[in-house]
Amino acid sequence: MQQIKEIIIVEGKNDTQTLRRYVNCDTIETSGSGITAETIEKIRLAQKRRGVIIFTDPDFPGQKIRHIIDQSVPGCRHAFLPKHEAVDVQKGKVGIEHADREAVITALDSVKTSMPQEEREAPPSWLELHQAGLLAGPGAKKNREKLGNLLHIGYANGKQLVKRLEQFQVTREEFYEAVQKMEEEA
């Protein structure tokens, strides 16, 4: 079983149980989006001592939690799970706890580090994103979802996409390779 040295930040007990079925790891549970100051301090300590990987659900509350932690604890690593790989179709619920082993391992093997703003390089421009069909027109949302999956940075709306590309230091080369692959698959 794969050993994860960093502490993985998840939303709840079911996420912890799922991860521990597939990897040997320690977790900190946020207990949802109402993150306390005490939880943030635990995450800060974990970041200093072992590093952390934020692995929240691919939905709005999960993104909110990810953002709060990333703003409070610099240098976090991020694992993203595509929404379609985290859905319990019968219950209509989305969460890490619904993902299979392969999806979890792929997400953890593809972690990205969030860079502090002052160290970031310029991401692809708005014009480049528009030309790639990511900002407007039919299929833009679907294209952003595909791009996020290919780059392992998760889904982002048009406004968030530039920030996400910058935050995870996606190079122009990586961006254009993903766009090309996206176009080939279409």
Confidence of residue 177 (pLDDT cuts 50, 70, 90): very high
Q: What's the pLDDT band for 54 if we cut at 50, 70, 90?
A: very high
CATH topology of domain 2-114: Rossmann fold (3.40.50)
Cα angle at 167 between 13 and 178, to 5 degrees?
A: 95
Residue 123 pLDDT level (bands cut at 50, 70, 90): confident
**Pairwise CA distance, residues 28 & 12, whole Å:** 8
Identify the pLDDT of residue 120. Answer: 67
pLDDT-derived band of residue 76, with 50, 70 and 90 as boundaries? very high
117 band by pLDDT with thresholds 50, 70 and 90: low
pLDDT at residue 144 above 90? Answer: yes
Query: Does pTM surpass 0.85?
Result: no
Contact 12, 31 (CB under 8 A): yes
Average pLDDT of the segment spanning 93-97? 93
Range 45-60 average pLDDT = 95
What is the location of CATH 3.40.50.140 in the chain? 2-114
